[in-house]
Amino acid sequence: MSATATLVPTGSYTVDPIHSRVEFAVKHLGIATVKGTFGGFEGSLDLGEDLASVRASGTVEVASIDTGEPNRDAHLRSPDFFDADNHPQIRFESKQVRPSGDGEFEIVGELTMRGVTREIALQAEITGIGEDAYGGERVGLEVRGQLNRGDWGLKWNQVLGSGNLVVSEKVKLELDISAVRQ
């Protein structure tokens, strides 16, 4: 691991959902950005002595989607988008982690959404390491990425008279993670 990464104690970590956030952002009507979160998620990090042994995984409950607008959330859970009844979870499993800068890493893994598994590369930065109020060891990470939702079968859309799409194909992912060593 790089000099910064070696400051993180090796071991198994569990994502603390109370102090973490899974968020996405997408352009609406080609004008405004709509953000949403998933309230139900879990994840783990296994940090070894070197990057080849680092593993990250996570699961998101699709039904927990929240964009602040109940009708939109119901549409996103429908077969037009996530099809939550048939595909209740989104899963990520890392395959490779490599350094990309001081305290920054690229995490390459498989993202399964709506029954489709594809490779995705995410950028991660270690934002903090320390002890919590209960004596637990924590690591903080900011993880960013981007995907084309159509690659995972989320193809519903409408073209407006202006030529803009109701929902952009590009989706930005932002995860703020606090994980506790087990």
Question: What does the block give as tokens for 149?
Answer: 């939702």
Residues in the chain: 182
Q: What is the pLDDT of residue 14?
A: 97
Confidence of residue 19 (pLDDT cuts 50, 70, 90): very high
- pTM: predicted TM-score of the whole model, two decimal places: 0.88
Of residues 166 and 37, more confidently modeled: 37
Chain centroid, CA 34 distance in Å? 16
Average pLDDT of every residue of the chain: 89
Q: What is the mean pLDDT of residues 28-55?
A: 90
pLDDT(6) > 50: no
The answer to whether the CB of 180 falls within 8 A of the CB of 137 is yes
Q: Can you name the CATH fold of 5-181? A: Lipocalin (2.40.128)
Q: Which of 9-13, 58-62, 80-84, 151-155 has the highest mean pLDDT?
A: 58-62
Q: What is the pLDDT of residues 122-140, one digit of tens each?
A: 999 999 999 988 888 999 9
Q: What is the mean pLDDT of residues 11-40?
A: 92
Q: What is the pLDDT of residue 166?
A: 65
Query: Cα Rg for the chain, rounded, in angstroms?
Result: 17
Using the CB atoms, write b or e for 44-79: b if 16+ within 10 Å: ebebeeebeebbbbbbbebebbebeeeebbeebbee
pLDDT(1) > 60: no
Q: What is the pLDDT of residues 71-120, one digit of tens each?
A: 999 999 999 999 999 999 999 999 999 988 877 899 999 999 999 999 99
Q: What is the pLDDT of residue 4?
A: 43
Tally the C-alpha atoms within 13 A of residue 181's C-alpha that lie toward its C-beta: 16
Q: Where are the beta strands (DSSP E) in the chain?
A: 11-15, 21-28, 32-38, 41-47, 55-61, 65-66, 89-101, 104-113, 116-131, 137-148, 167-181
The answer to whether the CB of 146 falls within 8 A of the CB of 173 is yes
Q: Could you tell me the residue ranges of all domains in the chain?
A: 5-181
